[in-house]
Amino acid sequence: MQKFRFLTAGESHGKALTAIIEGVPAGFSIDEDFINEELKRRQSGYGRGGRMKIETDRVEITSGVRFGKTLGSPITLVIKNKDFENWQKIMSSSADDLTDEKSFTTCRPGHADYAGSVKYGHQDLRNILERSSARKTAIEVAVGAVAKLILKEFGITADSRVLQIGNSQSDFNAEIDKAREEGITLGGRFEVVFKNLPVGLGSYVHYDRKLDGKIAQMVMSIPAVKSVSIGDGEDAHRLSGREFHDEMFLENGKIVRKTNHAGGLEGGMTNGEDLIVRANMKPIPTMRSPLNTVDLANLTETTAHFERSDVCAVEACAVIAEARIACAIVDEFLLKFGGDSLEEMQTNSI
Ligand SMILES: Cc1cc2nc3c(=O)[nH]c(=O)nc-3n(C[C@H](O)[C@H](O)[C@H](O)COP(=O)(O)O)c2cc1C
């Protein structure tokens, strides 16, 4: 990220999640309802746990926007954690409130618990769970919603869908119900599509300017995502050159393609076709029927800590991926057509 930069802060059961976005030019319309709709999409999907019922996330914009338009100054977004009222003492920043309530020392395999405790020297694994949790993706979705509103001014749209849950490609809810009954969890596969992108976002000139690499980083770093592919990338190894590559034709003097196996990227640049990104999410690590693990407090074998948890969150993961990819694309857009205002960008992008 060079032009559209953001940092987020906040713990899962802390007071709030916060983001500061730098680099948004002046004059873009920011529709708070749209951001809240995106937050709702992240909270939806069959298979989510109890927390989604407690919290309806809503964004508060505390800087950078006046009368619905961006000012060009940093934009601050805040999402209050409604559950904080039940966690005030446990998540207190004051040494006076020290308590071991909700502390735990039994590592959850598949989580950051073990490596995090070794790395940061925490004995209470709560100190790791609170930030490594996917809760922080709520504020990332809010940032992504701002990115989408910028892209919307240029006619660019985003969408996603679930392709597979566990072994099923259609009857997702039945698959999730079955897993819930058995006390286990599921992962899955999803697809994100961006439409109406101009040709030439990204570049082939350096490894770190290729847009496929930037997108992969954004999607791969979503908690629980274990593989990312562009277009038919996951099948690329078994297709011949004739089957994989998208031939070019002329129709009324315009270059057209009849296929899009490349998923809209060639040489690390958008080629004018739809951008198609697919990713695989691993099964949720926390399970009602818990995994074997080790208690770090006394080095004995036991079973993993269980805390209210999702059975499956692939639909939400797809919404997060949309948001992350939107940030990467806006960054490229600002690099290519940048200016200090919407008007300047419009002139530059003609
Ligand atoms: C939307 C979403 C919801 C998640 N919900 C849970 C959950 O309820 N319980 C859980 O154990 N893991 C959940 N995860 C997965 C963990 O956050 C993730 O596996 C963990 O942080 C380790 O990261 P890694 O899998 O990328 O190594 C969720 C992930 C996402 C994207």
pLDDT (tens, 9 = 90+) of the chain, 350 residues, equals: 799 999 999 999 999 999 999 999 999 999 999 999 999 999 999 999 866 666 799 999 999 999 999 999 999 999 999 999 999 999 999 999 999 999 999 999 999 999 999 999 999 999 999 999 999 999 999 999 999 999 999 999 999 999 999 999 999 999 999 999 999 999 999 999 999 999 999 999 999 999 999 999 999 999 999 999 999 999 999 999 999 999 999 999 999 999 999 999 999 999 999 999 999 999 999 999 889 999 999 999 999 988 789 999 999 999 999 999 999 999 999 999 999 999 999 999 88
Atom 24 of ligand 1, residue of closest alpha carbon: 224
Mutate to test the pocket of ligand 1, among 133, 139, 165, 317 (most ligand atoms within 8 A of CB): 133
Closest among 302, 303, 305 to 286, alpha carbons compared: 305
Burial class (CB in 10 A: 0-12, 13-18, 19+), 97: exposed
What confidence score (pLDDT) does residue 346 get?
94
Ligand 1 pocket (Cβ < 6 Å) reads 49, 110-112, 132-134, 137, 222-224, 282, 284-286, 309-310, 313, 316-317, 320
**What percent of the residues of the chain are helix, what percent strand, and what percent coil, each to the nearest 5?**
35, 25, 40
4 in Cβ contact with 70 (< 8 Å): no
> DSSP secondary-structure letter at 68?
T
C-alpha 47/C-alpha 296 separation (Å) is 31
What confidence score (pLDDT) does residue 51 get?
60
Dihedrals phi, psi of 201, to nearest 5 degrees: -80, 135
Please give the radius of gyration of the chain, using alpha carbons only, rounded to the nearest integer.
Answer: 22
| Domain span at 215 | 5-349
Residue-level length of the chain: 350
Atom 20 of ligand 1, residue of closest alpha carbon: 111
**Count of domains forming the chain:** 1
Mutate to test the pocket of ligand 1, among 310, 315, 324 (most ligand atoms within 8 A of CB): 310
DSSP H or E segment with residue 205 = none
CATH number at residue 187: 3.60.150.10
What are the counts of helices (DSSP H) followed by strands (DSSP E) for the chain?
10, 16
> DSSP secondary-structure letter at 66?
E
Atom 28 of ligand 1, residue of closest alpha carbon: 134
120 in Cβ contact with 127 (< 8 Å): yes
> DSSP secondary-structure letter at 306?
-
